[in-house]
Amino acid sequence: MNEQRLQAYLALIKALLESPGNQRASILEAHSELIDAGLVQAMRQVAASLEKQGYSDAAAWLVSFAENVDKNNEALQFLFAVFRKIAEGQGDPQVIYPLLQQNQHLLDENLIQVLNNLAIATLPTLEPEQAQLAAAVISEFGNLVQQFPLGSKANNMEVAIACYERALQVCTASTFPEQWAATQNNLGNAYSDRIKGERADNLERAIACHKRALKFRTSLAFPEDWAMTQNNLGNAYQNRIKGERGDNLEQAIACYKKVLQVYTPSAFPDQWAMIQNHLGSAYRNRIKGERGDNLEQAIACYKEALQLYTASAFPQYWALTQNNLGNAYSDRIKGERGDNLEQAIACYKEALQIRTPSAFPEDWAMTQDNLGSAYCERIKGERVDNLEQAIACYELALQIRTPSAFPKDWATTQNNLGIAYLYRIKGEREDNLEQAIRCCERALQIRTLSAFPQDWAMTQNNLGLAYSDRIQGERGDNLEKAIACYEGVLQVYTPSAFPQDWAMTQNNLGSAYKELGKTPAAIRCCRFALEVLTPAAFPLCCLKTGCNLGNLGFTAGDWHIAIEGYGLAIKAVEQSRNWATSDASRQEITKKAIGVYEKMVQACVNSGQLDRALETVERSRSKRLVDLMASNDLYRGGEIPPEIQNYLNQYQNLQKEIDRERYRYDIDNSRELTGVRTGRPYRAGLSPGKPRLVELEARKQEIWQKLRRKDPVLAGQIQVNPLDFNQLQQLLGGQRETAILSFYSTAKDIYIFILRYQPEEDKVSVSVRSCSNQGYDFQNWILEQWLKPYVQDNFRWQGQMESVLAELARRLQIDELIEQHLAGIQELILVPHLALHQIPFAALPLNSGGYLGDSFRIRTVPSCQVLQFCQNRPPAIASKYGTVEDATEDLPYARFEGERIARLYDIPPSQRLQGRRQATVSNYQHLARQVQALHSSHHAESRLDNPLESKLILGDGDITLGQLMTPGWRLPELVEVFLSCCETGLGNIEITDDILTIAAGFLCAGARSVVSTLWAVDDLATAVFSLIYYRYRQQNLTRSAALQRAQQDLRQLTGDEFARVYGSELQADLEERRREKLPELEAKYKEVQKQLWQAKKTLKKSNLDSEREELEQKIADLKKVGDPLHKAIHKFETIQKRLEAKSREPYPFAALQYWAAFVCQGMAR
């Protein structure tokens, strides 16, 4: 440093120290040539001297000024270095970004000031071409800083904006229009991403910039640039705060659709995929139109984008689209909520393969935040674990999303973390709620009403929820704080701008008012909410709010409000159920909503709206069976699509494998073991038994689910509408002596709805009888006293049948029901509820003597809608009969039964399947398609643990209920079925009242009527009952009348009459069977005994361990063969003795177990 320059520095310093503060800027401007590193050094030396002399203020000012000058000089040198590299054609981010990374500390407001000063000082002095080049360099620097991933994003955006604005000093619309338009576009993007300033104002500036750019960038002159700017304008409209939110999103969608006129998948595949992504986001947020449809459109757009954006070709964009697709699945309304969230989680996890914290920290944090939200709402898995997983995801996101680097994103994650703590299960509830409040309050430091009104409203709403549940503090004070939060939210969430959010806040506000006892205000809020939260648009939200409104009315005793709320909630349940694509999900939705139906019924009864009460009862029950019947009726023509046929073939093949596994021993020894089985099972099945069978049944269930997912009802292609009261009235078909009794249990009571013709009114109307204090406890009593003993202790069950049925009749007030409601009625169509499906109503005793079945012909149906399906099938006369007899050749009276029926109806041998070899699965199916009336007399078994595995047991395998309910078992010609088998009307009880039985399977397959059994019936009694039934049918009695007369005749049949009418023929048949089977059985038994004696003899002599082990196993195997043979030989003697004993009894079949099991389902004619 030479002496002359040093003196100039000192003179400038003296002038600055002696001048007023407002003159220092002009002094510096006048001596700008002295502002350099030397001046900084001189200032520091003078400051040190002044400090020693005691002039501390002057010294401090000089030090501060020196630092600013030093920083400005460093910033200036940095700008020169960057501009030089860009001007030299090295604007590549790989060249520039290392320089930016080394100087991140300079990317701040000071750099902007230095840039502005430099531009103001130099640009006006340049020639136009030089000025244009300089502006291009500055603009490119803005582009690079805008996309720079490190440092403060807020500062980066400010630097970029400054660059573009300086460039626009030179590049005007008139001088350099193309460069001006490009810079306007880039400036618009920077304002869209800007963090500082008011968000709403920034977006307005962005829109203005893009619109200015489009004045020059027209679709004709610059189609690609026009398309790019239209896309950017669409992005700005999608995020816009001012104006109507719905209109802004429509404008965004319009922009994107314009872009697609240029960006076609063939010409611009990359850009086309990008627009599909943006369009998907706009549809995801769209307000106009149906919410469910918009989300489906969003998902479709994202999937279109993923056709091009593959993980290998475009990993970053692929990850972005996977993230967005996850968001759409998180919001999705259609389909199953649980599956949608699983799909969302899968998408986020896919995105995180690319979005790592090292490569893309900001994007990684975004996806972690989204993943946390999906776990927060997750249905599958343990709720407690899901919430902990959500909290872990949010805390990971907060490692990147700090309040200094990403304040807006930090606030978003704090908000979401607050929600997770609000619902957290682990830890102390009180502490979790306090943590939720703290998270929301942190978020509100950034999410202010002025800067981010929508986000502010969201967090205020969540804060309100936390105060609503808060444990600390006074309850009333917390609720008032919650109300204040919600009312504040409604300043932003208006019904036009944010209809769903407005409605949900109204719901929350209503809940708070309810807690404070302000019922009218709470009702008003719920009604406001339900104007938006309709069943079709927002079924889950509608269910919640509808229940809230219904409960408010119910508690207040205002039944009309209760009905209003519950009615909407039920529509929402049914909409959700219609959108679900699996039987299990549909069942789960109905199961969770049973309480809503129950309260609706109660409210309707209390208000006297009995017609609506009955409608509600019927729409609540047997929905799964109704779906199956509706689906299978579509295939009445027999045409099955190839894909469904493929699944049917797989299902059938697995069943054959099960049959081979289950009957391998019997099939291998069918000749030798003919007639060995000792009788029907006397309990319902509870498990498949062998592990191999468990595995095969599970595989078969998977095929069933795949088959059902292709079902038109489950796929949403057709919808089954519940019956209205007019349709219910029509079920009586003008029969004035028939009444429908629909039973319905609530938590406290049983209601019996009586639908019948009322002579005094000359119309069909409904009345109701209430059985107080006979609710769910009564249902449990039936299970404990009836079904459980039947399964576990058949002897006990038989012993208490009469007493249990007498008590049941008393509790149901059957005598009072008859006296007060059933005058003039001769036939009852019963629609039982829950455990009542297992009850033989015909055997309910009356005070006057006799049974209910003596006073009325009785039919039962699972639901009125099932009855309607049966009625709507084409009427036909059962002119062609077929029988399936003794398929396993171990029922001594089944062949007798079949022979007598064949004689009665002149059934040819071609329509009779007799014995093991004829009564096969394929022959059974063929016969069922050829005849109008089918009589099955063989073994069957109900599976209470897995109803679809309930089965008809045939010669070479089983026909399961699952098979009967597939399109492969369409029997459109079948009119009536008599299942002279065990347990064909027995099924498991579910809260949804879906009772799946083999009888229901035949109704589903196409039959109009089925006679079935509620338990394991006696072979002899069943044979006699069947013959009596068919004699009455031949006399043209209806099915229910024939059943009634057969039950009466069987129990009144004397031993003498039995011997006279049936004895000799039964004896002859038994003797013939003995002659056929006994010699063969005795020969086999003798051979087995001989082998057994030889094996035992050899065992005594053997000293080798290996030989002894082999012989012991052989002896055990021979006993397994010999013991059943021995029983079979003596079985004939046992049967003979029982037959003789029955002939000597006064009334051999008077006991309930012999005659009461038979029920008629479906149509009477």
Tokens matching residue 676: 């060995």
Q: Which residues contact 379 (CB under 8 A, 6 or more apart)?
A: 337, 338, 341
Q: Are residues 94 and 239 both part of a single domain?
A: yes
Helix, strand or coil for residue 53?
A: helix
Q: What is the CA radius of gyration of the chain?
A: 42
Do the domain assignments include residue 1140? no
Q: Are residues 237 and 276 both part of a single domain?
A: no
Residues of the chain by 3-state class (helix, strand, coil), percent to 5: 65, 5, 25
Q: Are residues 551 and 610 both part of a single domain?
A: yes
Tokens matching residue 39: 């001046």
Beta bridge partners of 1033: none
Predicted confidence at residue 28, as pLDDT, reads 62
Do the domain assignments include residue 521? no
Q: 590, 620, 650 — which closes off a domain?
A: 620
CATH of the domain at 821: 3.30.420
End-to-end CA distance of the chain: 120
768 close to 753: Cβ distance less than 8 angstroms:
yes
Predicted confidence at residue 678, as pLDDT, reads 35
Q: Are residues 176 and 285 both part of a single domain?
A: no
Q: Are residues 808 and 904 both part of a single domain?
A: no
CA 491 to chain centroid, in Å, comes to 34
Predicted confidence at residue 571, as pLDDT, reads 92
Angstrom distance (rounded) from CA 1057 to CA 1069: 18
Q: Are residues 326 and 380 both part of a single domain?
A: no
Which regions of the chain are under pLDDT 50?
A: 665-686, 713-717
Query: What is the signed CA dihedral for 46, 48, 53, 55, rounded to 10 degrees?
Result: 80
Long-range residue pairs from 314-319, CB within 8 A, at least 24 positions apart, any chain: 314/270, 314/273, 315/354, 316/354, 316/360, 316/363, 317/273, 317/274, 317/277, 318/354, 319/350, 319/351, 319/352, 319/353, 319/354, 319/355, 319/360, 319/363, 319/367
Q: Are residues 306 and 454 both part of a single domain?
A: no
Q: Are residues 336 and 398 both part of a single domain?
A: no
Tokens matching residue 202: 């920034």
Q: Which residues contact 631 (CB under 8 A, 6 or more apart)?
A: 711, 712, 713, 714, 967
Element at 741 (helix H, strand E):
strand 738-745
Beta strands at 912-914 and 933-937: parallel, antiparallel or unpaired: unpaired
Do the domain assignments include residue 516? no
Q: Are residues 923 and 816 both part of a single domain?
A: no
Q: Are residues 666 and 750 both part of a single domain?
A: no
Within 286-314, where are the H helices?
A: 291-308
Q: What is the pLDDT of residues 1097-1145, one digit of tens each?
A: 888 878 777 788 888 888 888 888 888 777 777 777 888 888 889 999 9
Predicted confidence at residue 79, as pLDDT, reads 84
- 638: alpha, beta or left? (left if phi > 0; alpha if psi -120 to 50): left
Q: Are residues 865 and 879 both part of a single domain?
A: no
Predicted confidence at residue 426, as pLDDT, reads 96
- Domain residue limits at 1100: 1064-1130
Helix, strand or coil for residue 1009?
A: strand
Q: Are residues 246 and 267 both part of a single domain?
A: no
Q: 869, 899, 924 — which closes off a domain?
A: 869
Do the domain assignments include residue 835? yes
Do the domain assignments include residue 519? no
Do the domain assignments include residue 517? no
CATH of the domain at 334: 1.25.40.10
Do the domain assignments include residue 518? no
Q: 869, 899, 915 — which closes off a domain?
A: 869
Angstrom distance (rounded) from CA 975 to CA 992: 28
Within 768-830, where are the H helices?
A: 776-782, 788-792, 794-811, 814-821
**How many domains, in total, are found in the chain?**
8
Do the domain assignments include residue 718? no
Q: Which residues contact 161 (CB under 8 A, 6 or more apart)?
A: 142, 187, 190, 191, 194
Q: How far is CA 37 from CA 62, 66, 73, 914, in A?
A: 14, 9, 8, 113
Predicted confidence at residue 1096, as pLDDT, reads 85
Predicted confidence at residue 105, as pLDDT, reads 85
Burial 1033-1060 (b: 16+ CB within 10 A, else e): beeebbbbbbbbbbbbbbbebebeebbe
